Amino acid sequence: MRLTVDTSFCCCKLQTGTKIIGWLYLVVEMIGLIGIVTSVIMFMTSDNGHSQEFPIIAIVYIVSVAMMIAATIPLFIATYQKKRPKLVLPWLICAAVSTSIAAVTVLYQLYFTIVLEVIETPLIVYFVATAVLSALKIYYWIVVYSFYRLLIETQ
């Protein structure tokens, strides 16, 4: 079974597609990091009696986003220099773990939604949006993996 593609977005070369994906991930992760840090600051400064679990979840999210950002830097080095394929591996591993955790979380939430029989329009929209985004993340991973295989073959 072949898990690679020959081109990426609109017939772009794999190197160009990997650059686009790297920048896209970097921008989205930075926006997410700013958003979650802002939420934690607002939560910590308010005295509304919410559970203290939110900051723990937020800290886990901040660490995972920071790891993804840190893994994107070697991806850029490998992409712009078009050598050293091992620099692509941290991004591939982080993206695979991130996508797997997101899929498990969605399945967990879907299970409890079905068990509790809570079917509302916002939940359906959430599941559809998450499914589409997960499919895009898998495609992005395959593009970057294909670039990784291309780098290995040219070495």
| Proportion of the chain above pLDDT 70, given as a percent | 86
- 89-103: per-residue pLDDT in tens? 999 999 999 888 877
pTM of the model: 0.80
Which pairs from 92-101 meet CB under 8 Å and 24+ separation?
92/141, 92/144, 92/145, 92/148, 94/67, 94/68, 95/25, 95/68, 95/71, 95/137, 95/140, 95/141, 95/144, 96/141, 98/64, 98/68, 98/137, 99/134, 99/137, 99/138, 99/141, 101/64
User: Which residues are CB-contacts of 143 (< 8 A; sequence separation ≥ 6)?
Assistant: 5, 8, 14, 17, 18, 21
pLDDT tens per residue, range 22-69: 999 999 999 988 988 887 777 777 666 555 555 676 777 788 888 999
